[in-house]
Amino acid sequence: MDEKQDQKCQCVEMGVKLTLSFAILFPIYLLLYVTFPGSIVAFYLISAVLVALFAPWDDWKNKFLS
């Protein structure tokens, strides 16, 4: 039972990180889309995944939720 809950918690955590990554990168995406609309969607998705994976989430959590 705990394993299922831990797995669900990890999925929710990754979803939240990905959503925050989309929100953080949206202004950059918007600027690039206005200036050069070709293939920017792929850049936006790849960048959001990279931010979700490699951002210092623990540091941000301590800084903003303290």
pLDDT in tens, 1-41: 567 777 777 778 888 888 888 888 888 777 777 777 667 77
Structure confidence at residue 37 (pLDDT): 67
Q: Give residue 47's pLDDT band: very low, low, confident or very high (50, 70, 90).
A: confident
**Three-class SS string for the chain?**
CHHHHHHHHHHHHHHHHHHHHHHHHHHHHHHHHHHCCCCHHHHHHHHHHHHHHHCCHHHHHHHHCC
Count of domains in the chain? 1
Question: Which pLDDT does position 38 carry in this prediction?
Answer: 64
pTM of this prediction? Answer: 0.52
Domain carrying residue 7: 2-64
Query: Which residue carries 């990890």 as its tokens?
Result: 10
| Burial category of 21 from C-beta neighbours within 10 Å (exposed 0-12, middle 13-18, buried 19 and up) | buried
pLDDT of residue 8: 72
pLDDT of residue 55: 78
